[in-house]
Structure 1
Amino acid sequence: MDEIDQQLISLLRQNARMNVADLAHKLKVSRGTVTNRIRKLEDQQVIVGYTVRLRPEAEPERIRAWMGILVEGNQTRRVIASLLGEPGVASLHDTNGRWDLLAELESGSMNELSQVLERIRLIPGIRSTETNIHLATYR
């Protein structure tokens, strides 16, 4: 990836619906160049998808939480595979520090979140967890 690709990705992160003409204008390149670069980034799986971000107030019933996970010994791959199969896990991150993994959880109710937490805690290889409910987003 060169500087134009990085600038293109930055613009798409700000607004993935920005049209090719506007992207080309901001990058000072042709529309064909933008189209080809987007296609190349998608083909190389640098860009793997596009999404919609909603204000938390738009889904007041959704409950979000962060779970720090401590993994026993060399069970990380097994735990990751299990967590990726858990529908309540919105994203999963490998980290350093106190926790081995950080999972972003989403559920439709506190009861559903409780069930997600119970299923995760029963995964073999997980030593301990700590969950914090997401209250507000500022940026």
Structure 2
Amino acid sequence: MLEVKVSFKSRLFLKTPERKEMKIGELASRTALNASAIRYYERCGLLAAPYRVSGQRRYSDGDVHRVLLIRFASDMGFTLGEIKLFLSGLRDKAPVGPRWRKLAHHKIKEVNEIIQRSRRLKSLLEHLLQCHCASLQVCVERLSLSSGLVLIPYRTN
């Protein structure tokens, strides 16, 4: 008589492609960040919570690419909120092109405003260097009265 024995532990013998995983320290090293920054990205929702082995976070190469993308966008001046908005399309498979263009146009407008403020500041500093007034206060008063100089608009909030 033929007897068949079923073993539910057969998955232990299955060959699965090896998954390259790393601890938070290696991810931090590969992305030139502190581990605390990576944990912060997780809390902000920029980086998905990783799976854990014995309580330790484990990351994949995909996480390296995502963190590098976050750093790149941050270096371009995007806020973490803006980066999160952009990256949310990567999760839900929505097209990122239109979203990216909208954010880029908005950022260009912000950069142009910063450039204008910087030019006004440079002009003021150049005038102050040429100044022969008795005091800085007198010089600033003359400059602001003569040119209607406003470096930073007053905020009322």
TM interval, short-chain normalised: under 0.3
Q: TM-score, normalised by structure 1?
A: 0.24
Instruction: Tell me which protein shows more strand as a share of its residues.
Output: 1
Question: Which is bigger in relative contact order (C-alpha 8 A, separation at least 6)?
Answer: 1
Q: TM-score, normalised by structure 2?
A: 0.22
Larger Rg: 2
